[in-house]
Structure 1
């Protein structure tokens, strides 16, 4: 969906399709009819934005074949769908029974990660609407923190230089600008905005910047105003914002129903205690309160004593979109955990999932409208 900031800047609001498991072109196109078109209809939107997730094999096929890219663009257009952002964090197999640490591989020390990301940039340059100012691709924050050493840091720095050069080549060839945003996440080499400033120092900030996931920001117990002020001072652009909410509670035992085997749910306490997964945090009995990297639906508060980090999301949006000029123009709702919620909270049908996604987007649209960002 397109909204307009009081400055006149267009803001793009989408939902991320990494919530769906398809990893081939036919399956991806099938998602459009099963989910995206019903979501668009529920919202009464003439055009719905998608933050596409393309697994590495299908991305390689699309990047190599202009005719396939043309087909994908046409399949989107005929359904009233558009794409200005891609999620390039999961490489493939994001809906395997167990994902956990595998989502961080290949990392930014490898040529595989570079090639995948440049494939996405080439695809996005062709998918972008003609009047879109730019495209964005989100990616992992270099690597999981262990192992990490000076040699790996040097390899990653070289890959980022190659990435910036590759993005410049895509722009020279297509006339379209695509930027890549590194997404701080608990447990990674870049976990906080301060670490992003350190590790991306010297990067080409015309093409590289930050993907700010608001659940991750909350789990790091960062102050949104302070974090954004520091990013502006460092000249590090916010390429993309992922609208997401984490779990929060002062009574951790209430979280036991959220333990599940597929994804990592890094847990952080207000006092700075850390666990890499929710079951570990419960076993160790970390002191409350906790925030847990578990993306939960934006619009639906869990049963007490659980709550979510929606207040952090609101504080961040006020800084991002509430000023005279927006700090970002790409907003992607990224709740990929619908299928691993406690059984009583999971959608049972495709219609229920489409309705939940639509409700999240309506929630996000309302939050932005309250800041003066209107249709």
Structure 2
């Protein structure tokens, strides 16, 4: 089975008619541009659409037929954004509802049901990615206990779905800078003692991994030693700048400080400490810039940003090579509509860009795993 897909959270539709239109206007053209016989999707559904499909087996079968007719296969589901991911301002709203709120567990369980009905016949299983509990503030021991219980119940629901499907559907927790589970080490410590590790694992977003300045090989090895499997890799790249005090670098970084999404920044100083800022404007205003920066901005995999900025595709390559299990690799560049560098009002060609990324990933990531 082909294990390469792209995340459809780059597309704005949140209801079923809009999703079907996206198959024709976006996913179909992407498949044609890549030349793939079948194109893998990491499907994103807003909560209302997921609930509608989970409650109606006939509607779910219809969606599968529509996918098959277009040579599209759902290999995974992205259940991180609950909805509204393409509003004018998203920022911290992407973390709500969090894992203390019942709506998060319902949505995630609905996505498991949908994925079980859409997986291709030759898939040995699938995964649903989710947020790393919540944004870090406010958080308390009581909130932590509530989230642990919600994850326990959701894992039981996933196990039941897996039993009915005859193959595993796993929950993939995605660490992200600034959240309760800020990095992979945080997630491994939390999951190793609290989660059903047969059902719950990691979604390794390689942009987030790079922003944390973690060593990819050591990070993956530590997770494996703790019994926490990487069940999905989100192939993504962060912005890196060696000298954030360079005026040219600062001018370019300012172009990436856009109002829709949160762009957490980390600075690695000379003592080995990692300094933090919750968004790029804050970093430009407050961080000293005496060491390199990594910025949580998913940049295209195949097209380097303008110098002196660069992309962390080296971290991506190393992380993919370090994961020994044959996991789904999901290209997740959702930032095409907010990337700088095009004239104001000019349309963005998401199918062309995503197709180019998929071809890059097939050549640079998937082929290496097969050949190695």
Identify which of 273, 277, 280 aligns with 1:278. Answer: 280
- 1:269 Cα deviation after fit: 0.7
| Corresponding position of 2:126 | 135
**Quick one: distance in 2 between partners of 1:372 and 1:71?**
34
Q: Name the CA shift for 1:369/1:243 in 2 (closer, same or farther; >3 Å).
A: closer
| Corresponding position of 1:327 | 325
**Quick one: distance in 2 between partners of 1:305 and 1:315?**
22
| 1:35-184 correspondence runs (5 A) | 35-184=26-175
The answer on whether the counterparts of 1:339 and 1:347 sit within 8 Å (CA) in structure 2 is: no
The answer on whether the counterparts of 2:38 and 2:73 sit within 8 Å (CA) in structure 1 is: yes
| Corresponding position of 1:230 | 222
| Corresponding position of 2:335 | 337
Identify which of 283, 296, 311 aligns with 2:299. Answer: 296
| 1:261-276 correspondence runs (5 A) | 261-271=259-269, 272-276=274-278
| 1:27-42 correspondence runs (5 A) | 27-42=18-33
Higher deviation after alignment, 244-253 or 212-221 = 244-253
| Corresponding position of 1:316 | 319
- 1:20 Cα deviation after fit: 0.5
1:306 aligns with 2:309: yes
The answer on whether the counterparts of 2:175 and 2:187 sit within 8 Å (CA) in structure 1 is: yes
**Quick one: distance in 2 between partners of 1:187 and 1:53?**
23
| Corresponding position of 1:360 | 357
**Quick one: distance in 1 between partners of 2:157 and 2:192?**
19
**Per-residue displacement from partner, 1:98-129 (whole Å, max 9, x unpaired)?**
00000001111111110000000001110011
What's the secondary structure of 1:200's corresponding residue?
A: helix
Gaps of 5+ in 2: 245-249
Aligned-CA RMSD value: 1.5
Higher deviation after alignment, 150-159 or 335-344 = 335-344
Gaps of 5+ in 1: 4-11, 321-325
- 1:146 Cα deviation after fit: 0.7
1:207 aligns with 2:199: yes
Q: Name the CA shift for 1:237/1:345 in 2 (closer, same or farther; >3 Å).
A: farther
- 1:172 Cα deviation after fit: 2.8
**Quick one: distance in 2 between partners of 1:176 and 1:68?**
22
| Corresponding position of 2:210 | 218
Identify which of 185, 193, 199 aligns with 1:194. Answer: 185
* Runs of at least 4 residues off by over 3 Å: 345-350
**Quick one: distance in 1 between partners of 2:345 and 2:124?**
36
**Per-residue displacement from partner, 1:149-182 (whole Å, max 9, x unpaired)?**
1101100110111011111121233324210100
The answer on whether the counterparts of 2:129 and 2:172 sit within 8 Å (CA) in structure 1 is: yes
> TM-score normalized by structure 1?
0.93
What's the secondary structure of 2:370's corresponding residue?
A: coil
Equivalenced residues, count: 359
- 1:71 Cα deviation after fit: 0.8
**Quick one: distance in 2 between partners of 1:301 and 1:36?**
24
**Quick one: distance in 2 between partners of 1:183 and 1:348?**
33
- 1:348 Cα deviation after fit: 4.1
> TM-score normalized by structure 2?
0.93
